[in-house]
Every structure is written in structure tokens, then in C-alpha cells.
Amino acid sequence: MPELKTASFRETPGVSKVHQTKVSSAIFYYPDDRHVDMTISFLNYWKIKRQIDVDLVATTRRMGGEVVLREEISFDGHDVINYRPNVEESAGCSVELVASSDDNLVIPYTAMVGVYETARGISAVHSYGRAYSDLEIESGEVHTTGNEGSWTIRDSDKIRSFSVFHNGHRTQPAQTVKLTIINERGERRSANIACPAMEPFGSFRICPQDHIGDLVDFLDAGVGVAAVLFSVQNSFPRMLIGNEAIDGGDMQVTHSNFNFSSQPTDYMDDLDDSVCKYYPGRLGEGREMLIYPTIVPGRYTARHGDQEFAVQDGTITRIPMSQSPRMIDFSRDEGEMPTRMPLGLVVQDNDGVLPSECAFSAMTDLEPPKRFHWGICAADKKRRTRLVVMDLEKFHGGMPADLTISISLYGSVGQPIQKATLTKEDLAGLHDGVYLDQLFPDVAALMGGDFGCYVVFCEYGGLICYSIMEKSSTGSVTLEHSF
């Protein structure tokens, strides 16, 4: 079994540590463009937040790692880039974006969002994989064993699940990848998958239906959760995970999380420390929190209002979010509470499209205050966006009445930004989400038919933000948290 370093909340190698770094990067899967329109969208947050200038290089590679296209890109007088590599055929590609600067970039991840649009669906995922820098490799601050879980699979005669992981800049020897799936009855299926040697910057895609023949019957119209064990060289082994319609007309993606059923982690300092999660957006049918079975082994209790749910490792727990309250508290029946409780925020407004799932974790007293937030949005004939802003008052005491919330919108076509100022009284409505065109009547002109970005700033530091983008023609939605 590959070496498993501790993936602690406070200090995960190459992830949560702050570096003296002048290079930051991210890698995204770029799928078959016959069915999927893929955009990598991001804000010039380096300049807006810290007055730092960056140089940007995008490299598109085949799944085998061969370079197809490399080009410099720039903001050119606007603050949002919507990058789509100009390649004739994107089937089986990855796109790496590298930001470099003469100043310290602090975080080695570039904050970016990949948007995948199909005939019926829209889905977004923030930066998940990246190659490590030489400085990180030399210092040993790397985590290269992929022990990943939190992958919800929805396989049927019309849907197949898939995942993709990316290698770094050294060859990864041939290996056997271990896939394990748990269904809603707590039963397991496993498969050993032969993965040939991965060349530098190569990528590997897994479709469970190719390796577990009775998978559809095994799930029996329910969901399953998959875990994958593998290795890469000199890259952070987070996976893109998702489900797609076999006819190519729909896709939903998110990122994996550590498989804490076997991955070492850390624990809360005090048994009384809070661990909870707020559900963003409207409540109702088609909305749930999914507690993955790949949690730290133990028995837990999830409390939603006057309801209690028994939670334990190896078992999928689905908690409907159809009515208030929108918060779930977690406690461990015996022993210390881990700092991370991985879960999925699920929303589905139309049974005819795939559910959206945003992989996240329950929040704790360790959450630092955060004043500056940004995320992706869209507002045109094809798409609308609801902005969600929530007050994490359980951890931060509540927003003071004398403070305000500043919201700014940025487009990719050069128009001036638009701004709005809200008060504490506006927060209740923002928990459900407010359409951007209700806050900014001219938002469509600013967006110019493409993706833009919002920025939320408040001196309070106890807010969290999400955007919920909708595909107008089908009711497909995607939920993504802010950076």
C-alpha cells in the first residue's frame, strides 16, 4: 500500500500550508468537445486583492502527456478571463494554467473554475489538481498518494460515472489502481484496475462500469460512493469526479476528497468544539446533504432541527433539506471529533437532468475569518445566477448591524464593474439566493454573454458565499462555493 501522509486540517503537505512561492498552478480535465463545451474562468484576484501582476501560460496536453498547445494569456484591460484552448480535437486532454510573478503568490493553487456545458446540463468545479513546484519537491512538502473518496456514482442504463487524475512532471510507473464502491445497503464491490505507466503530465480516466460488470444492479436505482487508491509523481492527487449521460447530453462534476476511512487526519482540540454545516440556497424537494461513508471510522449523530440521524463509516447517509433549519450539527458518539466531515451539497430542480453536487466539508471552530470572497457567475439568455451569502454566526458571533456587505461584479469584455451595498437586514434573503439581475439590472450587458465573477467583501469576516448557476432551457443547476 502506498504511504499515506496525515491529511490534517491545519497542515496538509502542499495544500493548506502557506508558501513563499512565485508560481501557482492548476490542472483541469478537458473532455470530448463533440458533447461538452468547457471553459476555464477566473478573476484577476491577484491584482484586485493584493496589487500583484502575474504572467499566465496555458498548456493543453493529450491524456498521454503530449503537448498540443501552449500559449500566453493576459487580462488585456479586463479582470475576467474565460479560457478555451483553440485545439481541433480536445478528446482526452488536460489544461494546465500556470501563474508566475516577481512577488510572493502565497498560495500555490491558482483559484480558477472549470465550467462544463452540455445540451442539457451545466456544471462547475474549482481547481482540484496541480503539479508541485521544484521547491516543494525539494523540501518534501508533497502529497502524492491518491487515497480519494467522496465520489458519488449514479450509474444506470443511461448514466455512467467517471473520474480523472493527473500526473506531475516525472513518469509514474505502471500500477494497479484499487477501486471500491459502497451502495446504500452498505455492500461493497471492488476492482483492481491496470494503469499503464503515466508519462509526465499524463492523465488517467476511470469508468467504474468498465470494471464492475453488475454495477447498475448493485446500485439498484440508488447512489453509491466510490473510493480510489493510486499514486502519481510530483502532483497533488485530487480527482475530478462526476456522472455523465451515456448519450453525451448531460454531465455533472465536482472534486474528490480524502478517503478518511483509511487516511490519517487530525482532531478537534476540545470535545465541545462545534462541527456543523449550513445548506446554501432554497430548501425543498431535490435538496439534500449526503454524508459520505468514507469518513473517519466511528459512530456519529447528525442533528437537523428536532431530527437525529445515525451516521457511521461504511454507510451512506442522505439528509433531506426540505424545510428549516438549514444547519446540521455533528457530534461523535465516542471519542474525539475529526476536523473534517466530508459531505456533498446536492440540488436538483428538474428530474430530467443530473443532480448537482458540491463536495465540501462540515465547518468547525477552526475556520479562520475571511473578508474577501470571489466566485463565478453568468447572466444571459442561456444562464442565470443566484448569489448566496450566509452568516456563519455560530463560529463568528454574527455580523454587526453597523457593517455593510460590498458586492462587485466583473465581466470579461472590458466594461466597468458594477457595485451594490447591502446591510445585515439583507442577509436573510441572501441565504436563499438572490438573482444577480435583481441586484444589478444591467448585469447582462456587463457579462456580455459569457461568464463573469462576483466579489463579496465585508470587514466582519464571518460570511461564506456560493453561486448557483442555472441553464435556462432545462433547469440544470450547478452549485459552487467561493474562493
Q: What is the pLDDT of residue 252?
A: 98
> For the structural domain made of 23-137, what CATH number should be given?
2.60.290
Q: Which residues contact 195 (CB under 8 A, 6 or more apart)?
A: 174, 175, 176, 177, 204, 230
- In DSSP terms, 81 is beta-bridged to 42
Residue-wise pLDDT tens digits, 24-58: 999 999 987 789 999 999 999 999 999 999 999 99
Q: 106-110, 208-212, 411-415 — which is least confidently predicted?
A: 411-415
Grid cell 494503469 in the structure block, residue = 195
Q: Which of 369, 204, 367, 387 is nearest to 274 (CA)?
A: 367
pLDDT band at 225 (very low <50, low <70, confident <90, very high): very high
Mean pLDDT of 231-252: 96
Q: What is the pLDDT of residue 110?
A: 94
pLDDT band at 142 (very low <50, low <70, confident <90, very high): confident
Residue-wise pLDDT tens digits, 284-310: 999 999 999 999 999 999 999 999 999
* Domain made up of 372-481: CATH architecture: Sandwich (2.60)
Whether 141-258 and 372-481 share one fold: the answer is yes
Q: What is the pLDDT of residue 13?
A: 55
pLDDT averaged over the chain? 93
Residue-wise pLDDT tens digits, 422-453: 999 999 899 999 999 999 999 999 999 999 99
Mind giving me the DSSP string for 101-168? Answer: -SS--S-SB---EEEEE-SS-EEEEE--BEEPPHHHHHHT----EEEEEEEEE--SSSEEEEEEEE--
Residue-wise pLDDT tens digits, 76-92: 889 999 999 988 765 67
> For the structural domain made of 141-258, what CATH number should be given?
2.60.290
CA separation for the pair 43, 130 (Å, rounded): 18
pTM over 0.85: yes
Domain ranges of the chain: 23-137, 141-258, 275-364, 372-481
Grid cell 504511504 in the structure block, residue = 3
Q: What is the pLDDT of residue 143?
A: 83
Q: Which residues contact 362 (CB under 8 A, 6 or more apart)?
A: 275, 276, 277, 328, 330, 340, 341, 343
pLDDT band at 342 (very low <50, low <70, confident <90, very high): very high
Q: Tell whether the model's pLDDT for residue 141 goes beyond 80.
A: no
